[in-house]
Structure 1
Amino acid sequence: MSGKVRVPAVLVVLALALFPLVGTTASAADKPAVELSRSQAGTGGSITVNGTGWRANALLMMLICGRSSTDRGVIGGTNSCANADGRAVTADAKGRFSKKLPVSEPPVPCPCVVHVATVTGEKAEADAAFLVAGHDVEPLPKQDSGGRLSVLTDTRLDGSGGLLTWFGAPPSRTLVFTVGNVGTAPVKDPVFQVGTSHGVFAPQWEEQQWRGTIGPGKKARISLPVELTAGAHGDYTVSLKFGGKVLAEQPWGVGRPWGVTLFWILVCAVVPAALFRIGMAVVDRIRPRGPAGRVRRFGAGRPGRPTRPGRGAHGVRRGGLRLPDVTLRMPRPGSAPAPPGSGADDAARPDSRTNPALPWFTPDTDPGAAEADRLSAPHENTPTTPTRKGNT
């Protein structure tokens, strides 16, 4: 009876002992991994890269990078990789892939690795040691094992765009994060690398030094400025690196500078109008003018039809010479005639076209002059005749 009890007890003990090993194997299988068909090849050849444990349908980028190792990663970032000869690959539904990668020399000496990393979504990467035949090999820089910094809280970008940014000024933000020293030695004046990348392009790194000392087990709040080029717009990613390792990444959506578009629309509308006004002013200035300073207009004699030379307004041909108008003016009864040459007669002379005179009548021969004089009011020198009063 006791033997039957001991057998299940032994099985339980074995199961408990093997359970941690099974969990470790499962977690290791879920971690992204990369295997190469060859560990060494020359420039111009190709190798087959096999990957497992990646996210389903993940878009990946494969690069050959120098100055790197599997334990320290790519020290110089993607600037140490042969970016022109990289290849993109998509994992299947089970997180596996297999693709050929051409062998090319990286811009820095080896040790080299084949670096595979995700392009979009959650960040994941894996490295496999590789040797480019005939390429220079140099030892890796010494790693400071005293102080190590780690980001404790999520990073954020503070700031906003202004009116100048709307018109194409360089967008700028402030990268704010908190780091802690998890090493055994203090870190004095750490130098961080801040990189900005647009889409699938590699980030452009810029070194920025923070003034201060972070002791072992201490933390500090750090703010670093970030600025893009003028007119930049779209989806950007701000990366933070220290000691050759990327500590944090922060997305940044930059709006389009619509003020620049509005400016060009106004230019296209205003410049043609201004040129048209200038052209019309030039044409008006160089147009021929008459003797009196007025512009000669074709067809000014009659609307819709030009006036022929040598004809009047009613089409009567003239001999090319205009005869002066001759008018006679009758003096007012009882007034003395103006002396000749005084100009009074010319000033009071009516226009012959509006009040034509009859040349065959004169003041002395006018048949109605005597009758008009008799019926007119008596003058001052005329003797008055007494009127007889009484019945008539």
Structure 2
Amino acid sequence: MWKTLAVAGLLWAAATQCVHAQSSIALYGIVDTGIAYTNTAASSISAAGASRVSAVTGFGAGDRFGLTGIEDLGGGTRAVFTLENGFSGLTGAALQGGRMFGRQAFVGLDSERFGRVTLGRQYDISYDYLSPFLAWQTFGSIYGAHIGDVDNTFDTFRLDNTVKYQVSPIEGLRAGAIYAFSNQAGGAPDMGFANNRAYSLGLSWKSNGWQAALTWLHLDNPSSSTSGSNPGGAVGGEYTNATSIFYNTGFVTRQNVYGAAISYATQHAVFNFVFTDTLLDYAGAGSLGVRNYEINTRYYVTPALMLGAGYIFTDGSGFVGTGAKAFARGDHPQWHQLDLGAMYLLSKRTDLHVSVLYQRAAADADTVALNVLGPGGEGRTVQVGVVAGLRHRF
């Protein structure tokens, strides 16, 4: 009997070691802090603006720590998970509404043959596929995202209650889809299962230095996440902030975001063009169209030194409701924005970086609002920001 128990114990130990050998869990993160200056900043677009020098954190890449893991299930299939926390490197406080894992929290299956399906709190497909082309993401700072983040390419909100599917049928081609549930029972059109839901589609392609992407994001009643009628839906209470000037003007009943991007990389440089077209429908107050045109480039002077420059033209049209008067005096507001950045690698995981940002209101626009850093305040039509800091990845 003792021999039988000994053999069983050895077999169990061998099996346990085998499972551990086929599985892995990794801890990762970013801490990014520095100093920022802006010529004008205010608590809202109607408040008085003033210059400010402040300690800042997460401006190059949001502070975070996370756990990600895989388990080999055999036959080319793996179980996967990610739990990612966002925090302030200045105070240690949790971000994303105080969530423990507010940046990402999902579990899923990944198959070499059938693709990858994940469930939980995740980025929408538009952000996944467009972010590699954006100036703020590749060389700049979070303050250099598109004004108001109306296209969610800064990811002001992530999507809760989501099912995401991605597949790569041939090398270089990827397709994805996401559906985020409202988690409400059926009922009236504005209070049933479609109240605060979202879905998104995307397609990306890579080949011989070229990259391209096409995306679409749709949301129903996203404002109900902050109005109180359904904060537990797809958009979990993160739909608005001080610089979300287009969301703050009224209750958004429907939002559609169409995106396209193309990129070409040489040995030392990358050139990107990004276009997004967003349509917001407001309850009882018409609609607003916002188109962003972004061109940017980054150049590697040496393997350790990168320089970047980008220009964004934002063209709005259509909305003349009461709320629109907060940011425009007519139905055709425009903004020009310049993003400049530099990064110097002290090591593979630590870098120094600096960004200079300039935004100017034009045509019918009455205000400026650099992402997160602003808004500029009442009567201000030019806003400048300069930020510099130290970033460490682990």
Q: Which has the higher contact order (CA 8 A, sep 6+)?
A: 2
Q: Please state which structure has a larger fraction of its residues in strand.
A: 2
TM-score normalised over the length of structure 2: 0.25
TM-score normalised over the length of structure 1: 0.25
